[in-house]
């Protein structure tokens, strides 16, 4: 999981926005529309990044597709100190 977290959050061009989304849903689980508004991102961009995070088991969805609320996965929670380390690294860049 360590390699996956580094890759999806810091190793790709979209990592910064994925980190913002992960931080946002850690503060409060939200649906894609709420995230788009709160983070001032395009809805389709948020959906893309949520798909990447979901495919890599970093976040999970609760509810139906359109209104699904996203939150950090149990796997991400089990590695949260590493997530914080990566986010701190991104903040310092």
Structural domain that includes position 87: 1-92
Q: Which tens digit of pLDDT belongs to each residue from 38-75? A: 999 999 999 999 999 999 999 999 987 778 999 999 99
Largest CA distance in the chain: 37
Given pLDDT bands bounded at 50, 70 and 90, which one contains residue 12?
A: confident
Return the DSSP state at 71: E
Give the C-alpha separation, 64 to 1, whole Å: 27
Give the C-alpha separation, 35 to 66, whole Å: 13
Bridge partners, 85 (sequence order): none
- Give the CATH number for residue 22: 1.10.10.10
Q: Say how many residues make up the chain.
A: 93
Q: What percent of the chain has pLDDT above 90?
A: 83
Across 13-23, b (16+ Cβ under 10 Å) vs e yields eebebbbbbbb
- Calculate the average pLDDT of the chain: 93
Q: How many structural domains does the chain have? A: 1
pLDDT confidence of residue 67:
81
Q: What is the pTM of this model?
A: 0.90
pLDDT confidence of residue 29:
96
Compute the average pLDDT of residues 73-88: 93
pLDDT confidence of residue 63:
85
């Amino acid at each position: 999981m360590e390699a996956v977290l580094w890759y999806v959050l810091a190793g790709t061009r979209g990592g910064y926005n994925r980190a913002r989304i992960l931080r946002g849903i850690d503060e409060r689980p939200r649906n894609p529309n709420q995230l788009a508004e709160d983070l001032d991102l395009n809805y389709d961009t948020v959906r893309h990044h949520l798909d990447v995070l979901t495919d890599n088991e970093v976040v999970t969805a609760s509810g139906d597709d359109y209104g699904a609320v996203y939150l950090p996965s149990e796997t991400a929670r089990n590695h949260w100190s590493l997530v914080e380390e990566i986010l701190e690294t991104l903040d310092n860049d």
